[in-house]
Amino acid sequence: MFEYAPAPESRDIVDIRPSYGLFINGEWVEPQGEERHKTVNPATEEVLAEVAWAGEADVDRAVQAAAKAFPVWSAMPGAERAKYLFRIARIIQERARELAVLETLDNGKPIRESRDVDLPLVAAHFFYYAGWADKLAYAGFGPDPRPLGVAGQVIPWNFPLLMLAWKIAPALACGNTVVLKPAETTPLTALAFADICRQADLPPGVVNIVTGAGGTGAALVNHPGVDKVAFTGSTEVGRLIARSLAGTRKKLTLELGGKAANIVFDDAPLDQAVEGIVNGIFFNQGHVCCAGSRLLVQESIAADLLEALKRRLGTLRLGDPLDKNTDIGAINSAEQLAKIRELSEAGEAEGAERWSPACPIPDRGYWFPPTLFTGVAQSHRIAREEIFGPVLSVLTFRTPAEAVEKANNTPYGLSAGVWTEKASLMLWMASRLRAGVVWSNTFNRFDPASPFGGFKESGYGREGGRHGLEGYLAL
Ligand code: NAP
Ligand code: MG
């Protein structure tokens, strides 16, 4: 293996303020309470900034600002709203390097991913929904679809800016106004986005950003002035929200957890499948709701595939997320690291065999080596529960029917991958897999024109594509 010289991306391009207020009605305002919290770089544990903690009164203020902006924004011709969205998309492209570095600092993901995956997709989402803003009458939701009002949106920490884009772009295109709460551990790109809204001259109150923890999210989704709730996060919190919104007039979409199967048949091109497996579970440290966390491999090729996979894992580089050669960055928080460790220990205790390549771990920060488990039974916790980390559980199957049975044996249903050269087998599988997305000879591929969402406990509603408009329109 070659030794690579360090190739760190410079962080000078980002300008992080020591402290941030809330973004309400187009301005930075101080929260009413004294409480603030620190956001850290998970690769170094260095404090990056102090962030306001919005309480109920602050959330109320933000919702009121959004409600006040709604009549003007929703009455604006779609072509005019589109101009703002196009402008935002172009500013994101112009500031892409800065936003990628900021995302990597706050989240821990490799710069290669924030630069080449997150940021291009963020801009693409705004471009895509800008294109819909003046064509809503042709989207298949009636001749004159109306927006809902104020959207309360709560997002997780794994793709902070991308989840913001998935939420804000369709909401604004349809004529809604927004109050968004980013995750506690990754608020900085959402706060940078607030600046982008100002730079784009977006009318005040159309987008409001309130930072805080779970309590802030709860205050937002339960606020009586909110007409639509969009949540991405854990199934546990999704359940809580569904329960508290039941019987209200609020429209709800939920994007929750997953435990996807990546299924490899004996006729699949092995090297390509190995790349797809690696991308499926080690992309973004496995902090991916649709991660291919269960590898189902046909028994006849299991030994060969595992050998090739282990060889490939030995070449992954873990370390400084700002280094352009890094494949595996830091785990987002100490809390998430503890959860990954706990489940991995349960995997060993239940009798599965654990393997990781030799992989030096930095002294500071939160890290977990790429890990795979063989000898996994369907009853093991590591085969059933979402680990949300760089941990792959390997199971085998003999027939396509058995693969379908095992793949569907989960309370989740967000995604699946199938690797085979036979198109007939591919289609046979795709029609039987209970998953919102089925990838064919690829994995973790996203496009703003393609709907994304779950079956069963992975949630309901779709984001992306024409389908993604539906959650923001009164039908
Ligand atoms: P989480 O705990 O559910 O948090 C998600 C967001 O909800 C955060 O902003 C969180 O605030 C907030 N929150 C917590 N309690 C709340 C409450 N009672 N009411 C309202 N909001 C509340 O999830 P996580 O552990 O941070 O994120 C990982 C999970 O997200 C995984 O299960 C993953 O599968 C899922 N996910 C799904 C998708 C998808 O598209 N389906 C995409 C990405 C992630 P804090 O910041 O304080 O926690
Ligand atoms: Mg959380």
Q: Is ligand 1 within 6 A of the CB of residue 221? A: yes
**What spacing in Å lies between the alpha carbon of 212 and ligand 1's midpoint?**
13
Instruction: Write the pLDDT tens digit of every residue in 193-207.
Output: 999 999 999 999 999
Has this prediction a pTM greater than 0.85? yes
Mean pLDDT of the chain: 97
**What spacing in Å lies between the alpha carbon of 40 and ligand 2's midpoint?**
15
- Mark whether 255 is an active-site residue: yes
Q: Is ligand 1 within 6 A of the CB of residue 256? A: yes
Looking at the structure, give the CATH architecture of the domain made up of residues 19-256+458-474: 3-Layer(aba) Sandwich (3.40)
Cα–Cα distance measured from residue 178 to residue 168, given in angstroms and rounded to the nearest whole number: 7
CB-based contacts of 246: which residues, under 8 Å, 6+ apart? Answer: none
Cα–Cα distance measured from residue 192 to residue 415, given in angstroms and rounded to the nearest whole number: 31
**What spacing in Å lies between the alpha carbon of 214 and ligand 1's midpoint?**
8
Q: What is the pLDDT of residue 123?
A: 98
Q: What is the pLDDT of residue 90?
A: 98
Nearest to 336 by CA among 161, 164, 111, 108: 108
| 261-440, CATH topology level | Aldehyde Dehydrogenase; Chain A, domain 2 (3.40.309)
Instruction: Write the pLDDT tens digit of every residue in 232-260.
Output: 999 999 999 999 999 999 999 999 999 99
Q: Which of 158, 167, 414, 457 has most ligand 1 atoms within 8 Å of CB, for mutation?
A: 158
Q: Which of the residues 255, 386, 463, 470 is marked catalytic?
A: 255
**What spacing in Å lies between the alpha carbon of 199 and ligand 1's midpoint?**
29
Q: Is ligand 1 within 6 A of the CB of residue 160? A: no
Nearest bound ligand to CA 233? 1
Residue range(s) occupied by CATH 3.40.309.10 in the chain: 261-440
Q: Is ligand 1 within 6 A of the CB of residue 210? A: no
- The DSSP string of 114-160 is IIIIIHHHHHHHHHHHHHHTT-GGGTTS-SS-EE-SEEEEE--SSSH
Q: Is ligand 1 within 6 A of the CB of residue 388? A: yes
Q: What is the pLDDT of residue 16?
A: 98
**What spacing in Å lies between the alpha carbon of 225 and ligand 1's midpoint?**
22
Nearest to 401 by CA among 268, 296, 293, 254: 296
Q: What is the pLDDT of residue 3?
A: 79
Q: Residue 254 CA: which ligand 1 atom is closest? A: 41
**What spacing in Å lies between the alpha carbon of 396 and ligand 1's midpoint?**
32
Q: pLDDT confidence of 41, banded at 50, 70, 90?
A: very high
- The DSSP string of 385-452 is S---SSEEEEEEESSHHHHHHHHT-SS--SEEEEE-S-HHHHHHHHTT---SEEEES--S---TTS-B
Q: What is the pLDDT of residue 4?
A: 85
Tokens of 100: 């990628």
Q: Is ligand 1 within 6 A of the CB of residue 233? A: yes
Cα–Cα distance measured from residue 291 to residue 261, given in angstroms and rounded to the nearest whole number: 8
Instruction: Write the pLDDT tens digit of every residue in 132-161.
Output: 999 999 999 999 999 999 999 999 999 999
Residue range(s) occupied by CATH 3.40.605.10 in the chain: 19-256+458-474
Closest Cα to atom 4 of ligand 1: 233
Q: Is ligand 1 within 6 A of the CB of residue 252? A: no
